[in-house]
Amino acid sequence: MIHTQSFDVSKQSIQKAAQLLRSGELVAFPTETVYGLGARVFDESAVRRIFVAKGRPSDNPLIVHCAEKADVGRIAEPLDEPKQALFDALYEAFCPGALTILLPKRSAVPDAVTAGLETVAVRFPAHLIAQELIHAVGEPLVAPSANRSGYPSPTTAQHVLHDLSGRIAAVIDGGACAVGIESTVVNILTESLTILRPGSITKEQLDKVALAQGFQPFMYASGKKNGEKNAVPLSPGMKYRHYAPNARVLLASSLEEASLLATTNSPALILARSEYADGATVHELSEQSLYGALRKADSEGFHTVILVCDGEVQNNIALMNRISKAASKQ
């Protein structure tokens, strides 16, 4: 058991955190989506310890976080001309931000990072502390969400400490994450452009860029079902149970249905869109609040969480993706 330090966001603290990372330690840091658990991308032993600290299956690859577009050349091979133009256009439109793009992996990147895959996932976080930290280390950082594998992703430093205290060297406390769910992950290397994980950057936004570059719209990866030959394979991480609290998660289509379910499943925490939330019996359901609320259910002893998925929630593909996974018994 190691003592996990909690750092503020001062320049001095960032330097201390960078020093820990340079010496092979793991440090959690804020990004605009969720907190990430950082290690130097070229430090294979530190990368391996990330999987141990999180209890993460070793076949689930990590995202490499870069502070500058120029860093890409250190981890990825060049693209052909039309794909490079598409990458440049996506970068221009959404980066830095909540978009992760697969690129051909350079052999310098340890296999542990990509779980042996030929592709490497790259993201440019918009959070200034994340950028400062990567600059201070002088090398891109791998960073999965800084939670115990399978539990909801952390959107505050307290969530990180709850899951990983004693297992990592430090966390930088940058307050609550603005976006609240993980980045959109896309594969532009295959013939059809695919969304491997939906996020706050939507298919509509991505399609505008793809079409302007002469490509077909993106497809959602749906996973291979029995007998289905042409389905696009999911991202390795998408097959695991995710985002689930210990409390049982039930879905309702209206507040009335949720109230009814609550009477037979008490004590229950009800989450619904902010216009229904009263802060007493009904709490807010949004991208920003979902993971914190799922964690709150456990920390406050609720046996059940009831999520009101009305039409508007169902139209939010990224939010529904996380809700379905939290509710899945798999």
Binding site for ligand TXA (CB under 6 A): 31, 33-34, 36, 60-63, 100, 102, 114, 117, 119-121, 123, 143-145, 182-183, 185, 196-197, 235-238
Helix (H, G, I), strand (E, B) or coil at 14: helix
Minimal CB distance residue for ligand TXA: 237
Compute the least distance from the CB of residue 273 to Mg ion, in Å: 25
Comparing CA positions, the residue from 137, 138, 165, 163 lying closest to residue 150 is: 163
Q: Judged by CB under 5 A, how many residues of this single chain contact Mg ion? A: 1
Biggest CA-to-CA distance, the chain: 60
* Residue with smaller CB distance to Mg ion, 93 or 238: 238
Which residue number, 75 or 210, has a Cβ lying nearer to ligand TXA? 75
Query: Closer CB to ligand TXA, residue 149 or residue 304?
Result: 149
Q: Looking at residues 129 to 158 of the shown chain, list those that interact with Mg ion (rule: CB under 5 A).
A: 145
The single residue listed with the structure tokens 């299956």 is 57
Residue 201 binds which of Mg ion, ligand TXA, none (CB < 5-8 A, kind-dependent) = none
Q: How far is the CB of 184 from ligand TXA (least distance, A)?
A: 8
Q: Which of Mg ion, ligand TXA, none interacts with 34 (beta carbon under 5 to 8 A by kind)?
A: ligand TXA
Mapped onto helix, strand or coil, the DSSP state of residue 273 is coil
What is the rounded CA–CA span in Å between residue 38 and residue 60? Answer: 16
Binding partner at 150 among ligand TXA, Mg ion, none, C-beta below 5 to 8 Å by kind: none
Cα–Cα distance list, 165 to 2, 147, 160, 246, 301 (Å): 8, 10, 7, 19, 21
CB 55 to ligand TXA: min, Å = 13
Shortest reach from residue 133's CB to Mg ion, in Å: 19
Residue 197 contact partner, candidates ligand TXA, Mg ion, none, CB within 5 to 8 A by sort of partner: ligand TXA
Using Cβ positions, the residue closest to Mg ion within the complex turns out to be 145
Query: Tokens 């502390």 appear where?
Result: 129
What are the CA-CA distances from residue 234 to residues 103, 194, 240 (Å)? 16, 10, 11
Contact partner, 185, from Mg ion, ligand TXA, none, Cβ < 5-8 Å per class: ligand TXA
What is the smallest separation between the CB atom of 29 and ligand TXA, expressed in angstroms? Answer: 8
Find where tokens 């949720």 sit.
258
123 interface partner picked from ligand TXA, Mg ion, none, CB below 5 to 8 A per type: ligand TXA
Q: How far is the CB of 214 from ligand TXA (least distance, A)?
A: 24
Closest distance of CB 324 from Mg ion, Å: 16
- We find the least distance from the C-beta atom of residue 18 to ligand TXA, in angstroms, to be 17
Q: Is the dihedral of CA 17, 21, 24, 26 positive or negative?
A: positive
Which residues, in sequence order, are CB contacts of 329 under 8 Å at separation 6+?
none
Distance CA 75, CA 324 (A): 33
* CA distance linking residue 48 with residue 36, whole number of Å: 15
What residues are paired with 268 via a beta bridge? 304
Q: Could you say which of Mg ion, ligand TXA, none residue 13 binds, taking C-beta under 5 to 8 angstroms by partner kind?
A: none
CB proximity list for 55: less than 8 A, separation 6 or greater: 148, 149, 150
Among Mg ion, ligand TXA, none, residue 126 binds (CB under 5-8 Å by kind):
none
Chain centroid to Cα 114, Å, comes to 16
Nearer to ligand TXA, 101 or 261 (CB): 101
* Residue of 70, 67, 79 lying closest to 103 (CA atoms): 79
